[in-house]
Homo-oligomer: A and B are copies of this chain.
Amino acid sequence: MDKLDVIDAITNGNYQLETTLGKLHILGSSCKDIQQRYGVREDGLYFIITTNGVVYQTFCDMTTAGGGWTLVASVHENNMYGKCTAGDRWSSQQGNNANNPDGDGTWANLKTFGTPEGATSDDYKNPGYYDIVGEDVSIWHVPNDTPVKKWSCDSILQYHTATKFLTGHGGNLLNLYKRLPVRYNAGRCPSNHGPSIPIVYDKGDAETTKNLYGPNARGQFVPGYITFRVFNYERGAMALCSGTKPVRCHTEHFCIGGGGYFPEGNPRQCGDFPGFDWNGYGTNRDWSASKAVSEAAVLIFYR
């Protein structure tokens, strides 16, 4: 008996279900593993199994730069006016509070939440975030509430690293952020910033990246990189400058995620997209980011 027989037994020969159910029998430890094991080339949702045997579904990008990218997380700003309120899982849902310097601690703990189909409508973190051992990171900026099938097409920016830098940081972001905690006052800008890794653009370019942020913010970074764990002038911590390398320290206007305390303008910088609305929400004036990037979820892949 082979796989097709099993599927046939279950579907009673129905064609439409057979196609979908075929995926139930494709299972690996990551999208890369699935690609190598089964020769799969189609983007979509697949079943992944962790080292401990936990089975979950997530989206695999099977095409970009050879494919094999596993979606492990999305950072979604549910309410720019909420300052470390419900839904700010990648910074803090406990208000802006110096007593809670790690915030929710999401970058360095084993908590998971959300769903792959809802990754542009909600924060998302699956077991792959801490379980998969990868080499590189890919990021897509996808407009909020976009359905899975339109993610790639509707993305405003896509890029990936190609240096295998993750190998030197424990193979995934959990291990990276355990060593480089996203914690208020755990360091200063720029001395204690984590690595800045050059990126290859798959959609958009350095110019696109630059224009997503406010005119004043553009002088604070160089596009073409992903930078991990940075601080701002007041020692507020952020997890990810997605698309940029800071050259000055007003990092809260273009970096995302964070610890639980941002001193400046308390509580105005606290949140998953910290100071993106400093001069008004979506205005793209002065320090404020564009509406496009403010309303796009940041999808994080490993390979």
Determine whether the beta carbon of A53 is less than 8 Å from that of B20.
yes
Q: Complex formed: what's the CA distance from A208 to B93 in Å?
A: 34
B-binding segment of A44-52, A186-194, A217-225, A284-292: A44-52
Determine whether the beta carbon of B6 is less than 8 Å from that of A17.
no
Determine whether the beta carbon of B117 is less than 8 Å from that of A52.
yes
A127 at the interface (CB under 8 A from B): yes
Q: Which of B3, B45, B85, B108 is close to A9, meaning CB atoms less than 8 Å apart?
A: B3
A57 at the interface (CB under 8 A from B): yes
A: contact size bracket: 35 or more
A163 at the interface (CB under 8 A from B): no
Mostly, the A contact residues are loop
Q: Closest CB of chain B to A252's CB: distance in Å? A: 20
Determine whether the beta carbon of A87 is less than 8 Å from that of B97.
no
Determine whether the beta carbon of B100 is less than 8 Å from that of A94.
no
A2 at the interface (CB under 8 A from B): yes
A104-B78 contact given A54-B117, A145-B110, CB 8 Å threshold: yes
A243-296 residues at the B interface, CB under 8 angstroms: none
